Structure 1
């Protein structure tokens, strides 16, 4: 095993542990429950379509796709999230397959799927070109690709900007997740392998945090990337307090009144050439 391969394995192990921490199912189910349905509707998934959801988490897009009649395979690097998703799917009467898989090395044949999608998922894989290559590879010619990604200038993009001064330096080659919310970046990743590209910025209404402090406390306890940064600070009380205040300030800046926020995302669809 080469040194680079070893480093990649260690990086993926950290990512897996990060997303297993906290309570991402609460983020997906309570904060952004409508986002997956937006993607499924944009893709117009039909009965019998063979659908792959990459970095599916707990299934906020995979489950609605299955309920529309798609033959869905939901994959994620973190098996703990898949287990939660499987229980939620059963509760909703959705039938789909759950499979642990790395977005940068998918265990599927070329052109195997009619539709490939990812809802604020694949954007967190560290090597963007590797992930994009895999999304395209497993999609049949003429098949549909759909992505929802947080934008750099939107709320979650700004959350990552707020976390950055407190976080350890990223490993060489790892790219910032919100770049997937930049249309030019995604077009560059996909190149001429796709056609009929449609990209538009949309706003997700978020109303579950009455005060900025509620947002901070929830994301500090439930959201893996935020938990990882706080963990890296150890017992440094001053830096913890500074990050606490930074997150409160961020939420306050985006509060439109009565705890209402709008989180910007990029919805991009395309067809495999």
Structure 2
């Protein structure tokens, strides 16, 4: 019995440490600028797909700076934006204030949400919950807090798309994932999402779409931008900072990836693929 108690305590401590690491990673760089400059339209895309309207009670999980939460509030919904990282919430709060939009900002772990069963009409996440390490726990929570008949909406990067391929390129240079953690881009695979949601949903619809990113005039510009502002990329480079050869390898890999996806001089921009998911909560 003592051994089991000690093991449980150790698991809790490991989870607390993991979440602290994730919180710190997403506070690195300048994700608010990235979201605003590269993918501002994705939140509105998700809100429209969910059919969010006046008076709906909406939860945006792993909301970051409110890329989807703010458009949902603008549509007349009663919105709660939750995220693990307080720095992102504060940036979102400031952005909402500038736009004259009111919503609640709440620090929360996507794997242990502090909300009641069936509390929300719509539960959504825009390139957010995919980064929580334990997919089954996250899926269970987002389903739990959605009322029967309510809407679940997700927008996630696909493994085959540009961002999924970027994570694949960075993986050999990153620390090993903790036990039980799964790669974020799996949330962009139809069969994985179908297995996670299971018979807890009906009317499941999934379609792949792209967002055009034409900010970068050369591959190296993309690489250097992400090295400066994107938390996961910054964290990977810090992991190999004492190995110049590995840094050079990753530099080359990211620039080549951007070149392959149309991020070079004279191109019309890159198309970043994502999976858009909507479903109805069973019951």
2:71 pairs, out of 61, 64, 74, with 64
Q: What is the root-mean-square deviation in Å for CA atoms of aligned residues?
A: 0.9
User: Does residue 101 in structure 1 map to residue 108 in structure 2?
Assistant: yes
Give 1 or 2 for the bigger CA radius of gyration: 2
Distance (Å, rounded) in 2 between the aligned partners of 1:117 and 1:241: 38
1:214 to 2:221 alignment: yes
Which residue pairs with 2:19 in the alignment? 12
2:204 is paired with a residue whose SS is strand
Which of 225, 232, 239 does residue 225 from structure 1 map onto? Answer: 232
SS of 1:2's partner is helix
Q: TM-score, normalised by structure 2?
A: 0.95
Pair 1:253 & 2:260 matched: yes
State the secondary structure of the residue aligned to 2:147.
Answer: strand
Aligned residues: 273
- Runs of 4+ deviating beyond 3 Å: none
Q: Please name the residue that 2:4 is paired with.
A: none
1:48 corresponds to: 55
- Unaligned runs of 5+ residues in structure 2 are 1-7
Maintained 8 Å contact 1:211/1:259: no
The reply to whether residue 31 of structure 1 matches residue 42 of structure 2 is no
Identify the range of structure 1 (32-41 vs 248-257) with the bigger mean alpha-carbon deviation.
Answer: 248-257
- TM-score w.r.t. the length of structure 1 is 0.99
Q: Counterparts of 1:107-146 in structure 2 under 5 Å?
A: 107-146=114-153
Distance 2:268 2:234 in 1: 23
Q: CA deviation at 1:2?
A: 1.0
How far has the Cα of 1:234 moved from its partner? 2.3
2:161 aligned with 1:154: yes
| Distance of 1:171 and 1:24 partners within structure 2 | 24
- Structure 1 gap ranges (5+): none
